């Protein structure tokens, strides 16, 4: 029976067990031998990280060829309109590649959202907004690059779901076992 772990990765934690420099590793939160991350989240991103002890499942979850949708809550600088999100829905030319069309919609701040430590930069004169963005690929810093390209830099990035698995009520640093 494969193990599948849903972990709410806090800000400042790498998607690997070994810490590096100023970043913590997963071993500071998970004492589970034999499981490995299925995909990555940058240290400055938060949210759902899936771990498993099943190599084939790990590959299926992480490999973009399987097109598992990944849903993010993105706090951006500025106040985009629904029309401002159209380029995300069509695909954005990032120079080195063009993204696949994404699902994008404006949302209120997600209910039950925990405070980030450290907090995002705050500027009195510049509003922030939330976008729910679902992509089926996951190149390095893709979501941040996409929102910057349309003129709304990412301030906070939280992965809320991967395929059928959701963050739900998990708080930063918490994990639970799920089923495949």
- 66: buried, middle or exposed (CB in 10 Å: 19+, 13-18, 0-12)? exposed
- 112: buried, middle or exposed (CB in 10 Å: 19+, 13-18, 0-12)? exposed
Strand ranges for 21-153 from DSSP E = 36-37, 46-52, 70-77, 103-107, 128-135
User: Which candidate in 28, 42, 44, 84 is catalytic?
Assistant: 42
Alpha helices in 53-160 (DSSP H): 55-62, 86-90, 142-149
Establish whether 42 is a catalytic residue: yes
CB atoms within 10 A of CB 9: 30
List, in order, residues 6 or more apart from 140 with CB less than 8 Å away.
none
Is-contact 76 34, C-beta < 8 A?
no
- Active site amino acids: 42
């Amino acid at each position: 029976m494969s193990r599948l772990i849903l972990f709410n990765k806090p800000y400042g934690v790498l998607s690997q067990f070994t810490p590096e420099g100023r970043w913590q590793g997963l071993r500071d939160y998970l004492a589970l031998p034999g499981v490995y991350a299925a995909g990555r989240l940058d240290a400055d991103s938060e949210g759902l990280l899936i771990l498993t002890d099943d190599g084939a499942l790990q590959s299926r979850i992480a490999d973009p060829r399987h097109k598992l949708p990944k849903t993010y809550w993105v706090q951006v600088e500025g106040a985009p309109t629904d029309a401002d999100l159209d380029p995300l829905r069509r695909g954005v030319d990032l120079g080195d590649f063009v993204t696949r069309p994404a699902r994008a919609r404006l949302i209120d701040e997600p209910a039950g959202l925990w405070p980030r430590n450290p907090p995002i930069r705050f500027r009195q004169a510049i509003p922030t907004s939330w976008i729910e963005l679902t992509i089926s690929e996951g190149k390095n810093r893709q979501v941040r690059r996409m929102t910057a390209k349309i003129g709304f830099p990412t301030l906070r990035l939280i992965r809320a779901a991967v395929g059928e698995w959701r963050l739900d009520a998990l708080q930063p640093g918490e994990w639970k076992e799920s089923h495949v």
